[in-house]
Chains A and B, each alone.
Chain A
């Protein structure tokens, strides 16, 4: 598995001095990337470094402003994704993009369904092929169900299946693991390695360094839209990479502060919604960070959505400091001091086409208004407070949130909810898609908020995060709470055991 970056063999994919600007926002100034066949190439960089933009240029979705783009040594110029597909490039985008009304199978094969002589789609062949793909990825998804309502994880898996089935020479994966848990990640990696060994070139983008170092052969670092370095993975360390990414030293340690744990703030009693979760009871105290762990699909998000009042539930009670939280009313829940940072920031967390300022003040718009009227100056001022504390990178407060990078979007969601000054902060996958620097900061922030007496309920699929930040860990499996583990007893093993116990396919 020798890496030959400067061999005379043309690279599978090469970009040189590529730049791209969106109006006043410059996403890329001079990006380089050289990916060889037979290798998995990591692309890392802070949020907003321009990774996804680079991917979209390769995919033919954006057109570069300047620079060279070579495919197997030949200069290419794609004007649509169809062309890049035809040239043997498959892309898994950062945000899953499925057709909600169509079946899982159709989603995988759209536009290239197997047909018989008369052009009629061969549904049976298509389904068999889909099941084969799922088998390879070791997942269980009904190929006939519509994509509507699938969890993000399942959507991501379908994206992966789709990309694999393209049988492309170059496979680019933009944070494919952000929504996945251990088992699925392992499976994905096994598939990725086998694709590499078949002689393909893969690009892997992730903010998780353990994954990067265990999977990849080469690593390219980007910063502020610029190429920084490319090295064989064996010749660099995590610390070095992180330093190059952010331009200084960062400790990835989670600085857990001890906080005085006080009275019960939230207590959930026997919450049940048939088919989704059953008999969920737990409490969260002020100053306490409770981690909610489990495999993807365990129903954690559904529970907190029900607690917050977005989703219905059939039985049970939610009590906030002695006051019952009414069903199905997020605004009542907010009034009682709840805040929910949802898992799907693009659909649930943000109004993408609205401005940073409008989004950041969305949850406090009532308290901002005087005599029922809202002044946009007040709005902007309020938005600036938390945006600046979280270091949101944006051109101006009236920029559309949708144009921010994924990580910065997540920061806006955080800003929006922290602005409500909640007594209980529920946070679903707080650091999904966030770079290391910001991640450490978010953890510090959570710690600090807890220190000030806020109660925090955190869902996370990243075990180190749960173990590092939580005072107490709740574990869910298949819609039920299966364990409650104190900070001192919580280990990777104990949590995983509770999350997977009795599942046949547990790794």
Chain B
């Protein structure tokens, strides 16, 4: 401990001989990147695509992927903010109802003669308000998010159904309905993928490369410790719920245009698909763990599997069974792998020599 004299405040240059030096990582780069839950999902996705291309007739065509993207875009979109919400240890079950409400908002306003662009804006504002209501009840009143969003799931759906009643609004400007379905010529890639990619980049940076994101992970692992470190726990959650609301509203607008139909029951039950995909993508429901690339792969995996099986004339019930089993298997397998690794280490453990940080 001869170095104790060098203990100075960090304002002093960092170059002075420290007492110890540290390895940055305990395992190799290869292990850190490839032996992860996210990579497992991505690998599985690749395998499913390859197998399906070879064995399922009509699968390996661009049209498969353009349909796939058109169909899964709402889930892809909502999965982004949902991932962040779940990493903080909360959950939002009201997303599909918010899609319905946003859809109905666009429908009623255009029906009443408003310009559709204004209707879009109003729908997004409705999304912000709905998200803020969730956020308010959860962070300010202090209620559990599962309970609150079960309530708003009913409320937002109820408002949507109440507003439109039996009617469905189907008259939308062709310009907009075409955009929702447009593809980049020849490639078959739908245009809606552009806003998704932009949002995906924004959310990935927000989650993985900002101090806000660091706070999100800390909240999920220990919100008390996060609060003691100056993380705005409540504010962060509030923002995330608002983001979820507005992205859900955006997905609702897309849904309306894609199907050219605004109805109160649009997208019913989509929340479970979103959550299933997020969990499949390796996000821990207890919070604190997860990454966006895994989530996107998770959504696509469910989507690709579904379209391959449909093409292979597998009925929708069997597809549901497979989706459910996949979800269970994926989480069980991670804990099984962890268990197996532990066993292996335990057996080999005694022979290893002490590897710890070298004293300076």
Residue ID in chain A nearest B219 by CB atoms: A351
B210 — which chain A residues lie within 8 A by C-beta? 369, 372-374
How many angstroms from the CA of A302 to the CA of B356 in the assembled complex?
38
A65 — which chain B residues lie within 8 A by C-beta? 346, 349-350
Is B232 positioned at the interface, with any CB of A under 8 Å from its CB? Answer: yes
Residues of chain A in range 288-344 having any CB-CB distance to chain B below 8 Å: 310, 330-331, 333-334, 340, 342
Q: Given A21-B349, A357-B24, do A362 and B19 touch, yes or no (CB 8 Å)?
A: no
CB–CB B350/A19 < 8 A: yes
How many angstroms from the CA of A26 to the CA of B24 in the assembled complex?
19
Is A452 positioned at the interface, with any CB of B under 8 Å from its CB? Answer: yes
Within the complex, the shortest CB–CB distance from B88 to chain A, in Å, comes to: 13
Residues of chain B in range 328-360 having any CB-CB distance to chain A below 8 Å: 345-346, 349-350, 352-357, 360
Interface stretch (choices A31-39, A76-84, A142-150, A385-393): A385-393
Indicate with 1 or 0, residue by residue over B1-24, a CB within 8 angstroms of chain A CB atoms. 101101111110010001111111
Is A87 positioned at the interface, with any CB of B under 8 Å from its CB? Answer: no
A225 — which chain B residues lie within 8 A by C-beta? 354
CB–CB A310/B24 < 8 A: no
CB–CB A347/B20 < 8 A: no
The one of A352, A398, A437, A445 in contact with B7, judged by C-beta atoms closer than 8 angstroms, is A445
Residues of chain B in range 217-256 having any CB-CB distance to chain A below 8 Å: 217-218, 221-222, 224-232
Is A363 positioned at the interface, with any CB of B under 8 Å from its CB? Answer: yes
Is A427 positioned at the interface, with any CB of B under 8 Å from its CB? Answer: no
Is A350 positioned at the interface, with any CB of B under 8 Å from its CB? Answer: yes
CB–CB A385/B222 < 8 A: no
Within the complex, the shortest CB–CB distance from B93 to chain A, in Å, comes to: 25
Within the complex, the shortest CB–CB distance from B170 to chain A, in Å, comes to: 44
CB–CB A29/B357 < 8 A: no
Is B214 positioned at the interface, with any CB of A under 8 Å from its CB? Answer: yes
Residue ID in chain A nearest B225 by CB atoms: A351
CB–CB A340/B9 < 8 A: no
The one of A347, A357, A387 in contact with B222, judged by C-beta atoms closer than 8 angstroms, is A347
CB–CB B356/A393 < 8 A: yes
B352 — which chain A residues lie within 8 A by C-beta? 21, 24, 26
How many angstroms from the CA of A21 to the CA of B10 in the assembled complex?
34
CB–CB B230/A387 < 8 A: no
Indicate with 1 or 0, residue by residue over A344-383, a CB within 8 angstroms of chain B CB atoms. 0001111111100110001101101100111101001101
Q: Given A330-B227, A389-B6, A396-B26, do A66 and B350 touch, yes or no (CB 8 Å)?
A: yes
Is B25 positioned at the interface, with any CB of A under 8 Å from its CB? Answer: yes
The one of B4, B22, B360 in contact with A397, judged by C-beta atoms closer than 8 angstroms, is B22
Is B135 positioned at the interface, with any CB of A under 8 Å from its CB? Answer: no
Is B298 positioned at the interface, with any CB of A under 8 Å from its CB? Answer: no
Query: How many A-B contacts if CB must be within 8 Å?
Result: 167
Is A444 positioned at the interface, with any CB of B under 8 Å from its CB? Answer: yes
CB–CB B22/A394 < 8 A: yes
B227 — which chain A residues lie within 8 A by C-beta? 310, 330
B26 — which chain A residues lie within 8 A by C-beta? 24, 395-396, 398-399
Is B288 positioned at the interface, with any CB of A under 8 Å from its CB? Answer: yes
CB–CB A395/B21 < 8 A: no
How many angstroms from the CA of A49 to the CA of B215 in the assembled complex?
33
Is A252 positioned at the interface, with any CB of B under 8 Å from its CB? Answer: no
Is A238 positioned at the interface, with any CB of B under 8 Å from its CB? Answer: no
The one of B24, B25, B222, B345 in contact with A23, judged by C-beta atoms closer than 8 angstroms, is B345
Q: Given A373-B205, A373-B209, do A350 and B225 touch, yes or no (CB 8 Å)?
A: yes
Q: Given A358-B214, A374-B209, A449-B9, do A416 and B22 touch, yes or no (CB 8 Å)?
A: no
CB–CB B9/A363 < 8 A: no
Within the complex, the shortest CB–CB distance from B164 to chain A, in Å, comes to: 42
CB–CB B1/A397 < 8 A: no
Residue ID in chain B nearest A224 by CB atoms: B354
Is B320 positioned at the interface, with any CB of A under 8 Å from its CB? Answer: no
CB–CB A365/B225 < 8 A: no
CB–CB B25/A388 < 8 A: no
CB–CB A348/B22 < 8 A: no
How many angstroms from the CA of A385 to the CA of B227 in the assembled complex?
24
How many angstroms from the CA of A399 to the CA of B7 in the assembled complex?
24
Within the complex, the shortest CB–CB distance from A108 to chain B, in Å, comes to: 25
Is A419 positioned at the interface, with any CB of B under 8 Å from its CB? Answer: yes
CB–CB B356/A381 < 8 A: no
CB–CB B211/A25 < 8 A: no
Residue ID in chain B nearest A248 by CB atoms: B1
How many angstroms from the CA of A399 to the CA of B22 in the assembled complex?
11
How many angstroms from the CA of A454 to the CA of B14 in the assembled complex?
20
Within the complex, the shortest CB–CB distance from B112 to chain A, in Å, comes to: 41
A283 — which chain B residues lie within 8 A by C-beta? none
CB–CB B10/A419 < 8 A: yes
How many angstroms from the CA of A449 to the CA of B10 in the assembled complex?
11
How many angstroms from the CA of A387 to the CA of B23 in the assembled complex?
12
Q: Given A65-B346, A347-B225, do A388 and B214 touch, yes or no (CB 8 Å)?
A: no
Residues of chain B in range 1-60 having any CB-CB distance to chain A below 8 Å: 1, 3-4, 6-11, 14, 18-26
Residues of chain B in range 51-82 having any CB-CB distance to chain A below 8 Å: none
CB–CB A396/B25 < 8 A: yes
B214 — which chain A residues lie within 8 A by C-beta? 358, 362, 365, 374
A347 — which chain B residues lie within 8 A by C-beta? 222, 224-225
How many angstroms from the CA of A348 to the CA of B225 in the assembled complex?
4
The one of B11, B288, B355 in contact with A395, judged by C-beta atoms closer than 8 angstroms, is B355
Within the complex, the shortest CB–CB distance from A507 to chain B, in Å, comes to: 34
A374 — which chain B residues lie within 8 A by C-beta? 209-211, 213-214
Within the complex, the shortest CB–CB distance from B165 to chain A, in Å, comes to: 46
B226 — which chain A residues lie within 8 A by C-beta? 351
How many angstroms from the CA of A385 to the CA of B19 in the assembled complex?
9
CB–CB B20/A387 < 8 A: yes
CB–CB B355/A354 < 8 A: no
Is A180 positioned at the interface, with any CB of B under 8 Å from its CB? Answer: no
Is A181 positioned at the interface, with any CB of B under 8 Å from its CB? Answer: no
Is A231 positioned at the interface, with any CB of B under 8 Å from its CB? Answer: no
Residue ID in chain A nearest B6 by CB atoms: A389
CB–CB B229/A25 < 8 A: no
CB–CB B288/A389 < 8 A: no
CB–CB A351/B221 < 8 A: yes
Q: Given A444-B4, A449-B9, do A388 and B228 touch, yes or no (CB 8 Å)?
A: no
CB–CB B225/A349 < 8 A: yes
Q: Which 6 A-B pairs have the closest CB atoms?
A: A388-B18, A396-B26, A331-B230, A21-B349, A365-B211, A396-B23
17 A-B residue pairs with Cβ-Cβ distance under 8 Å, sorted by A, are A19-B350, A23-B349, A26-B353, A26-B356, A66-B350, A350-B225, A351-B222, A351-B225, A352-B221, A354-B288, A374-B209, A374-B211, A389-B6, A395-B26, A398-B24, A441-B1, A452-B8
Chain A residues packing against B (C-beta within 8 Å) = 19, 21, 23-26, 29, 63, 65-66, 224-225, 310, 330-331, 333-334, 340, 342, 347-354, 357-358, 362-363, 365-366, 368-369, 372-375, 377, 380-381, 383-399, 416, 418-419, 421, 437, 441, 444-445, 448-449, 452, 454
In the complex, besides A334-B230, A351-B226, A383-B22, 14 extra interface pairs with C-beta distance below 8 angstroms are A21-B349, A21-B350, A63-B346, A354-B221, A369-B210, A377-B24, A380-B22, A381-B14, A384-B18, A388-B19, A388-B22, A390-B19, A396-B357, A452-B9
